[in-house]
Structure 1
């Protein structure tokens, strides 16, 4: 038996494993990984399974409880599995099965909750001492034998002894980039043996279980008469598998382990996700660089710098061959000063920053994103076992030409085109299912027939798809079932109306009918007008924009007709006897209704709304802000005579009215009217005359309230208003010329003007 200690996702380790296996020619290969996934190893080696990919292990009853085990082309485990598949020899995973690890974690969480509740009850009786508090914390965080936390990783001690501040860099130089790899695995085993003796993890129960199960799988292979066994595992585990304890001790550890049901599948992975810790707690910061090392192990930096130069030239930067030569020379010099056999990523980055980037970190960040990390995404064969919902989603993606990409991709969809309309429907349906592959963004088009989307595929979306697969086998079926369930469980009329807004662009006729009926039933059962007014703008948007998608909106219009009638009848009474905050909220909602009704241009709605405003405007019991709002919008609609408007304005703003009430009336009157105040001279004069007749004491009292009124206007509107007040108050025309009037000369001209107009000068 040969035990090969490796670093997860290490290109040097992967090359060493590949070379060693080709020389050793084992009859079975055992790899650190979840035995639950042994059945899906048959797809490794097929051309359609292109790394980076990951094994997704999840609980069918609770898919959010899941783990990923990612592999890249340069992962030692991947190369070991690939070797076994190509040479038709058995290959098995040998780590602690996920069915046990998830069950153990589940029990730990439940135990922690129970102990936490008991501790809370004890705290209610007496205050705990400092020692008792520490004991309670330890009990919640784990068993009696808690996992110790090292101040630094054990390997970092070797790095520090060698003069490195970073254990990862030391490992990369010593094991991943070295050219002479003779007896490399013996050296790794001896190194780990010394570290384990110096820094034993005696209380790490999970590590003990993992290593006991690894030894169990090795013993099973030996019992099956395999004589040339190759074991590929993380370097830390090598001593534990080399010096095996008695089988009885391992059996005692593994006896009675809890378990849950687990399913596994292959899913695409991305290079940027390789930086995350996964099922075996491994992550790397530079997958793009490691891929380069895998393909060009003897590169002295020339190929890498050529890639960097090509990247910059693609961004229209002037990079010459001389730049590349000088950067490579600088990297070589840095490596020589640091006593390295050749430049590593650190040296190449410093040379790039100095020579190609001219010391600009932004350009170096571009190199990191595009080359060091990269945006590569893997691919999975269609015949890999997948949930039916995932199969349907992938089929639709392929038909609509919406590929899964690791980086953001922008789409501008023209809803007048059949394929773009279907894309929009599909993306809206995924949003309803809370599978956030696409994000709707602002479109530069002023029409309603275009939508802008940004899409980016993330591996964790596979878990969301599995989770939502319980609602149906197809996207349409799952979305409809999920939406109807949300509708039934919702007690808020506003929330259900929001669901209806989601349904319309998703083209779900059956679900739309159900949600609309549910809204009608909830609206009929409620007497809360303030809840109804929040729903009308959403329904109005559906009626207006539904026509762009050729959606039948008659059902929504009928529902909207009923609700507008009820609101117009009940709103005047709801405006009476309310506090300031409620009045502000009703005013804001009423403004939205006003916009919606003007948007729809439906004559019956406009007539009912004006009648409602008439009742509010002249009801002295209504909140002043709402009365001011009603008067203003009646004025805009031409439904109030000019004489009545002036009388109403000045009576509401007279000195007899308390200043706070007058200010509230004015706030409602000017709601959303910054530009109108500038353009309507009559409106301007009414407001300006009222302000100028205020004495200093009243003006000082009203100033904070008036500031709140004008604060909602945009900055350009406030600036224009200030300029207009300045010009009129100073007697300066808009051209900046001072007005100077000679009264004597003006009087002599009066007679001439009168005669020109046909009047007698007498």
Structure 2
């Protein structure tokens, strides 16, 4: 190959060393120009040699960067490393140029088999393609070559220096000159700083030199191009012997590894994500690489389009003014062209009216970006990954880098399948989706998920492959293992709930056997109370999904009975922290008992002789009646336990107050009796701290206690009288408790309570309800005014309107189907 063809004098110069900055669009363009000018017969790229068999996939039309090479230890998939490549990465440009030119490509870095064997205790997803210390140098003080060069040039920002000297540099006649200059700069840095804290690079560079020598013997001394991090160029120029290099490699540990291509994202290319070889603005760099001309104008047009999509008033005039301002700023700052700093300042001033709020959106969506790459189906993958890909296509659930909300209706087959898949992946530790609160319906047939595919999830899939070759098989095996190894009873009940949500019937027998054994041996009421809610939720979801939950029903009822028996003695002699925890247990059990009663308890599992009789008769009416009887009986038992707790002096005040409040809300405690309970709790003989704790339990904890005091002046008067009689010394002690209680109220509720206390008792006395103090409240229901709302309610719901509160019949708004889903009237 002649020098005239190469475009420069390189005869006898050895391999063409192209030192680059990883993920630098300027380096990528320079590499492409150098390869087109040099026309090498082989290209060596910094990366693991195990990827040589995968390099041909880069030419596949279905391969769309950003992508990454993923290497993981076969027996321990969690020990892994990534080598990400973007469209603007010099390595990717070199690979594509070689593929188009028919030139062989080989990776020349230390094999992943060695580097992963040395990284047993390091982060599994922090590998960097060719940056110093790709696998990490624990405890080493490492220098940033770009930062040192930028500081030497008088720049305080390495990114801005790189833009000025590389990204904004026009093409010259000698396409190899920039690489020579950068190599000389790195040589000076290495003379000054030695390895710069990258001691493991000595081994990597020894292996690289051996690979370069081998390629030169095969293709010719001057016909090999090497694309590597600029930091390594001085080491590759170093004159060493083969024996010396092999001595550095002797005795390296080795592991069996697999390698494949996986999708990557711009967000994970960002240095802010923890990726050491990352850049601050991958979206901006991608734009610089792909824009054929006028990059600033095109960038600001993108920004305007994004802001308009977010309903901000941005016109073409804004774009024109922003371009002018960016050019002016660049000239004032002595920069060859506007960079990201200038365009950002112009966007803030012109398009965002000085606000950083819309500017943060621009940074997130464009400067960083959410581009997700794609990998062809022919890429190697573990069987579990292939099954997951098949399910994603079947359910039309495409992985995306942007976070999005997914609303599911479990009554639809496709949505139910999506829910099962997401729940099974969560069981496997693959957090593609996270459950979120539904904004629309609270029904159990609705689910809301937040989805975002992160590149490291590919590692989680590889790790989960040890449990099975399909998603359902792997999730089942993982659930069974987790049940056997679970430490607490609540963990097992939560696992049972997750198995039902994921629809894993084969795992349930094992989970239920472990659950029954743990429940029988666990005598801690706190543990039982923690376990019950998840178990009851499992019954609820099992009912919605048509799952047989008979065994769950039996365990839930038995667990509830044990809580009823053990709760009174467990609530005695508690300190403040334990009492607050027990109050939470009481709330959880109350919710669980209510839901268990609504489900009919026995409908999920045979409970008692009444249910057995109903089952044997086969009558749905009898079955429903038996279930209702079981639910009502359970509620009665629970209310009797609460009454015992509420009247027992040895029980902590916060628990007694909560029990009294639950009884009042459930209609089991008359208002007069509730007032008597409060009067006893706030009597002169009660310690002020205990009385304050009772108040916290009765009207605190987000229970709507503020509105209760607003509407019942008797209770408010009792609290006011008690607080007025507390001594100065005791008041200091009870103030934190009272502040915690009343600070949880809405501002309007606090304001109304203050007005009521300032006004004093109403005209009817402290025992009367609020009458004239607050307009709109009366002593009893106004039936005529209540009836007036029914036509509007019927119009909103689109259903027929029945009799109102004044009809005395208890009829209300009906949906016309007569299926028991009627809305009872106000009366």
Which TM-score applies when normalising by structure 2?
Answer: 0.77
* Residue 50 of structure 1: how far off its partner (Å): 0.7
- Structure 2 residue matching 1:712: 3-state secondary structure: helix
Going from structure 1 to structure 2, the CA distance change for 1:34 and 1:645 (only over 3 Å counts) comes to closer
Contact 2:679/2:718, CA 8 A, preserved across alignment? no
Q: Which of 167, 172, 179 pairs up with 1:181?
A: 172
Distance change >3 Å, CA 256–CA 577, structure 1 → 2: closer
Work out the CA distance in 2 between the residues paired with 1:333 and 1:643.
78
Deviation at 1:77, TM superposition (A): 1.0
Deviations 1:576-618 (A, max 9, x none): 4444543443333123222322333311211322343454455
Pick closer, same or farther for the CA change 1:315–1:630 going to 2, 3 Å: closer
Is the counterpart of residue 725 in structure 1 residue 757 in structure 2? Answer: yes
Which among 48, 66, 73 is matched to residue 87 of structure 2?
A: 73
Structure 2 equivalent of residue 343 of structure 1 = 338
* Aligned-partner Cα distance in 2 for 1:232–1:249: 23
Correspondence for 1:84:
98
Q: Which residue of 2 aligns with 1:569?
A: 565
Contact in 2 for aligned 1:29/1:231 (Cα 8 Å)? yes
Alignment correspondent of 2:16 = 2
Q: Which runs of 5+ in 1 are unaligned?
A: 110-140, 738-762
Give 1:25 deviation, angstroms: 2.7
Report the alpha carbon displacement of residue 46 of structure 1 after superposing the two structures with TM. Answer: 0.3
Structure 2 counterpart of 1:609 = 638
Whole-angstrom distance in 1 between the partners of 2:225 and 2:426: 47
Cα distance change, pair 280–27 in 1 and its aligned pair in 2 (3 A): farther
Structure 2: distance between partners of 1:358 and 1:682: 48
Checking the alignment, whether the CA contact within 8 Å between 2:706 and 2:745 is kept in structure 1 is no
Deviation at 1:102, TM superposition (A): 2.8
Within 5 Å, which residues of 2 pair with 1:482-493?
482-493=478-489
CA distance in structure 1 between the aligned counterparts of 2:206 and 2:724, rounded to whole angstroms: 89
Deviates more, 1:581-590 or 1:41-50: 581-590
* Alpha-carbon contact 2:709-2:715 (below 8 Å) kept: no
Q: How far 1:468 moved relative to its partner? A: 1.5
Contact 1:69 1:280 in 2 (8 A): no
> What does residue range 178-577 of structure 1 map to in structure 2 within 5 Å?
178-197=169-188, 199-200=190-191, 201-203=193-195, 204-226=198-220, 228-276=223-271, 281-299=276-294, 301-338=296-333, 340-448=335-443, 449-577=445-573
Residue deviations 1:603-639 (CA, integer Å, cap 9, x gap)? 1211322343454455565555555555555555555
**Alpha-carbon distance in structure 2 between the residues aligned to 1:108 and 1:537:** 39
Alignment CA distance shift 1:696-1:525 (3 Å): closer
Displacement of 1:395 after TM fit? 1.5
RMSD: 3.6
Whole-angstrom distance in 2 between the partners of 1:678 and 1:193: 76
Higher mean Cα deviation, 395-404 or 712-721? 712-721
Counterpart-to-counterpart distance in 2, 1:650 and 1:313: 62
Contact residue 677 and residue 683 of structure 1 kept, 8 A: no
**CA shift at 1:56, angstroms?**
0.9
- Give the Cα–Cα distance (whole angstroms) in 1 for the partners of residues 153 and 656 of structure 2: 80
Pairwise CA distance, 1:97:
1.8
SS at match of 1:329: helix
Give per-residue Cα distances to partners, 1:122-167, cap 9 Å, x unaligned: xxxxxxxxxxxxxxxxxxx989xx95544xx445555445443334
CA distance in 2, matches of 1:678, 1:338: 62
Contact residue 25 and residue 289 of structure 2 kept, 8 A: yes
The separation in 2 between residues aligned to 1:673 and 1:275, in whole angstroms, is 42
| Secondary structure class of the residue paired with 2:235 | helix
Number of residue-to-residue matches in the alignment? 703
Q: Which has the greater radius of gyration? A: 1
Please give the alpha-carbon distance, in whole angstroms, between the structure 2 residues aligned to 1:675 and 1:330. 55
CA distance in 1, matches of 2:333, 2:671: 88
Distance 1:9 1:256 in 2: 33
Pair 715,668 (structure 1): closer, same or farther in 2 beyond 3 Å = closer
| 1:270 CA displacement | 0.8
Deviation sequence 1:343-391 (CA, Å, 0-9, x none): 3333333333343334333333333333332221110011211111111
d(CA) in 1 for partners of 2:300 and 2:706? 62
Conserved in 2, the CA contact under 8 Å of 1:69 and 1:279? no
Work out which structure has the larger RCO, using CA pairs closer than 8 Å and 6 or more positions apart in sequence. Answer: 1
Q: Please say if residues 670 and 709 of structure 1, whose CA atoms lie closer than 8 Å, have aligned partners that are also in contact.
A: no
Deviation (angstroms), 1:106 = 4.2
Report the CA distance between 1:476 and its aligned residue: 1.3
Give 1:708's aligned residue: 737
Contact 1:677 1:684 survives alignment (8 Å): no
